[in-house]
């Protein structure tokens, strides 16, 4: 009987559902996690101050008719204090590396979100009863002499999530290494995309610091768990600045420099969705106003950092490439393009936290792609360049 047939056998389906229900009901949330690690004296509170974000609606573009998704993010938000803790004798299970401590799953390892946690639980249940296709089913035991930091989760292969929910946690890993005088091993996906390893090397980690998630059941004597620096759709300004400064330092980019003269349009013509179907009309307008068109799929991580560090004006359809505004200078301008049926405020909050000037435009949805409303785009340009020339010299790239 194949694994797929086993999945649909009534008995196995019942056992799997029973396990899922048990796991969902036995989660270790952050309150309980704090109690556990405080008792074990394995808790480090990272920053003494409380970090908050608040945006002035009156200073925003189109503030009188601000989209509902942005309205929700205007209210002040206070982050939970970041922390890093150590857990001993843990198991990592399933494709998303669900963390078990004393046979109970830990929420914070799943980006601290219950939707991601539930998906990880389902994958772990599949692993226990079916195994994961294409992966070794043998149990892996990490050396008891090493300290592991797990960077694998439901979304860790996505560019946005890797940068803002993965790399931003590494400041606390460095703090742990300094306080404990030890070197931590980073657990990453088995077949990492180029930007994953490239970004880690730029942050000073070496190939010898990396271990790969090659099994579906892994046992670790010691694991450290740095809290996530992105909460409820907001990303820590402190963490973003740390990441930008470290990457800039590695690439010898002046952190104090003002925005350059580069204007870029990020195309999604190579993507599978949210393409701009009237892109010719849009690019004719943008190129006529000093922009260059780029396909970020053709750029290395280093090249993307360098590109955005020189940009003063970025226009882009909503997509992971806009994550790179974390490497843009304060005062840079962002114009994000949406279609009417999908408006996501993640880059709005990021831009506001980083001191960037944010604009947006919504167009029509056509088969999961978008038709940009050119009058809206031109209106944004008129507001930005009111009373001044749009022409501006370009920086070298």
pLDDT of amino acid 359 = 95
Closest to 102 measured CA to CA, from 172, 186, 188, 32: 32
CB 369 within 8 A of CB 343: no
Q: What is the mean pLDDT of residues 249-267?
A: 90
Residue 208, classified by CB atoms within 10 Å of its CB into exposed (0-12), middle (13-18) or buried (19+), is exposed
pLDDT of amino acid 258 = 76
| DSSP string for residues in 309-336 | HTEEEEEEESSGGGGGGGGSPTT-EEEE
Low-confidence winner among 15-19, 44-48, 233-237, 315-319 (lowest mean pLDDT): 44-48
Give the sign of the dihedral formed by CA 153, CA 155, CA 159, CA 161.
negative
Low-confidence winner among 112-126, 185-199, 328-342 (lowest mean pLDDT): 112-126
Report how far residue 370's alpha carbon sits from residue 338's, in angstroms, rounded to the nearest whole number.
7
Higher-scoring residue by pLDDT: 111, 341: 341
Q: In this structure, are strands 83-93 and 43-45 parallel, antiparallel, or unpaired? A: antiparallel
Crossing angle (nearest 10°) for helices 374-384 and 279-287: 20
Report how far residue 394's alpha carbon sits from residue 397's, in angstroms, rounded to the nearest whole number.
9
What is the b/e burial string over 318-345, where b = at least 16 CB atoms within 10 angstroms of the residue's CB? bbbbbbbbbbbbeebbbbbbbbeeebeb
Sorting pLDDT into bands at 50, 70 and 90, what band is 385? confident
Sorting pLDDT into bands at 50, 70 and 90, what band is 396? very low
| DSSP type of residue 261 | S
Residue 39 clears pLDDT 90, i.e. is over it: no
Domain boundaries, the chain: 3-43+82-232, 251-384
Give the sign of the dihedral formed by CA 92, CA 97, CA 99, CA 105.
negative
CB neighbour list of residue 146: distance below 8 Å, 6 or more residues apart: 185, 211, 221, 222
Q: pLDDT by residue (tens digit) across 357-373?
A: 999 999 999 999 999 99
Residue 131 clears pLDDT 60, i.e. is over it: no
Q: What is the mean pLDDT of residues 62-71?
A: 86
Residue 395 clears pLDDT 50, i.e. is over it: no
pLDDT of amino acid 134 = 40
pLDDT of amino acid 239 = 95
| DSSP type of residue 130 | T
Q: What is the mean pLDDT of residues 188-204?
A: 96
| CATH code of the domain occupying 251-384 | 3.40.50.360
């Amino acid at each position: 009987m194949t694994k797929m047939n086993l999945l649909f056998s009534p008995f196995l389906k019942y056992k799997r559902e029973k396990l899922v229900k048990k796991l969902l009901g036995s989660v270790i949330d952050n309150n309980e996690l704090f109690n556990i690690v405080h008792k074990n004296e394995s808790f480090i509170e990272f920053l003494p101050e409380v970090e908050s974000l608040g945006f002035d609606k009156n200073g925003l573009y189109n503030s009188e008719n601000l989209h509902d998704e942005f309205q929700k993010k205007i209210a002040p938000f206070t982050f939970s204090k970041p922390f890093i803790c150590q857990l001993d004798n843990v198991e990592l299970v399933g494709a998303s590396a669900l963390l078990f401590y004393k046979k109970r799953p830990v929420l914070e390892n799943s980006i601290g979100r219950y939707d991601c946690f539930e998906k990880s639980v389902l994958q772990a249940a599949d692993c226990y009863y079916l195994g994961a296709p294409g992966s070794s089913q043998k149990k892996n035991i990490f050396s008891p002499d090493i300290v592991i930091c797990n960077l694998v989760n439901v979304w860790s292969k996505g560019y946005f999530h890797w940068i803002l929910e993965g790399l931003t946690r590494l400041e606390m890993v460095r703090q742990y290494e300094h306080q404990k005088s030890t070197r931590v091993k980073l657990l990453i996906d088995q077949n990492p995309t180029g930007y994953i390893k490239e970004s880690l090397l730029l942050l000073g980690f070496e190939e010898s610091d990396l271990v790969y998630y090659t099994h579906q059941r892994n046992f670790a004597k010691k694991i450290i768990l740095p809290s996530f620096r992105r909460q409820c759709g907001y990303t820590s300004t402190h963490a973003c600045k740390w990441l930008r400064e470290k990457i800039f330092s590695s690439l010898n980019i002046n952190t104090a420099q003002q925005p350059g003269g580069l204007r870029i349009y990020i195309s999604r013509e190579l993507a599978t969705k949210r393409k701009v179907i009237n892109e010719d009309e849009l690019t004719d307008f943008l190129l006529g106003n000093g922009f260059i068109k780029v396909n970020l799929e053709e750029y290395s991580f280093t090249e993307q950092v360098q590109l955005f560090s020189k940009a003063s004006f970025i226009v882009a359809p909503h997509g992971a490439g806009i994550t790179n505004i974390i490497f843009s200078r304060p005062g840079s301008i962002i114009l994000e393009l949406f279609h009417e049926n999908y408006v996501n405020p993640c880059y709005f909050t990021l831009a506001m936290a980083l001191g960037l000037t944010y604009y947006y435009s919504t167009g029509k949805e056509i088969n999961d792609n978008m038709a940009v409303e050119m009058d809206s785009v031109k209106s944004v340009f008129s507001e930005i360049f009111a009373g001044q020339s749009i022409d501006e010299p370009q920086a070298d790239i």
